[in-house]
Structure 1
Amino acid sequence: MLEAIRTANRETRVQYGLMVVFGSLCIISAFAPLADPIRLTVVGTLFGFTAGLWVAHLVQILQRAVKSQTAAETAADST
Structure 2
Amino acid sequence: MLDEIRRVNSETHVQYALMIVFGALCIGAAFAPLEETLRITAVGTLFGFTAGLWVAHLVQVLRRAADAKNADVMAVTDS
- TM-score under structure 2 length normalisation: 0.97
Q: CA deviation at 1:31?
A: 0.2
User: Matched residues in 2 for 1:61 and 1:12: separation?
Assistant: 9
Q: Which amino acid aligns with 1:47?
A: F
User: Matched residues in 1 for 2:62 and 2:12: separation?
Assistant: 13
Report SS of the residue matched to 1:55: helix
Q: Which amino acid aligns with 1:49?
A: F
User: Matched residues in 2 for 1:72 and 1:60: separation?
Assistant: 18
Which structure 1 residue ranges, 5 or more long, are not aligned? none
Which structure 2 residue ranges, 5 or more long, are not aligned? none
Once superposed, what is the RMSD of the aligned Cα atoms?
0.6
- Paired-residue identity, %: 61
User: Matched residues in 2 for 1:47 and 1:3: separation?
Assistant: 29
Find the counterpart in structure 1 of residue 38 from structure 2.
38
User: Matched residues in 1 for 2:16 and 2:3: separation?
Assistant: 14
